[in-house]
Structure 1
Amino acid sequence: MTKTDTSTPAPETHTASSQSDLKERAEEAVETARKSVERTVATARDEGEKALSEAQDTFMSAQDSAMSAVRRNPGLALLGAVGVGVLLGMAMRGRD
């Protein structure tokens, strides 16, 4: 009688099992990476939206302050605009 050793799988079965395990681990790693990227993108989007909102608020506040200053002192605002125009004109003329 010949006794068959059943404790060690055939080489083809062992290789197929290893490939299956490797494939499963790779799929799990890909899924973990995908979830991590999604969380990172969501966090970056949220922070970007928050920064944009804060920048818009700051701009609107600065615009309101400027408009208020012009309304309080229109002569001074006009004088400042003329001064800036003169300086720009001199700077442009000096480049020729």
Structure 2
Amino acid sequence: MVVDANKTLPAHEKMRLETAYFDTNVNIELTTEVEYHSQYQKDMQLTIDETELPHHASEQYHFAEAVDMLNTYASKMDTIYHQNDSFIHKI
């Protein structure tokens, strides 16, 4: 979104990810799923987590915050998967 908007702005008005924010209501829906494939069994899909994160337009939810949140969420889901749902464990 920032890239597209910046194409239409003069150089001195360009947005940066660190300062750009959503000016509308935002509802981020995250689902973490794992698919197991086996030679001897039917493929299986397991939902580990479903999360909904609403943000009102008045909160000035910054793009950089959203990216940080997604990175934190991904790391958390990776840990949960390896602790609870994986039969292959990290050493």
Q: What is the TM-score of this pair, normalised by structure 2? A: 0.30
Name the structure, 1 or 2, with higher relative contact order (CA <8 Å, separation 6+): 2
Q: What is the TM-score of this pair, normalised by structure 1? A: 0.28
Q: Which has the higher helix share?
A: 1
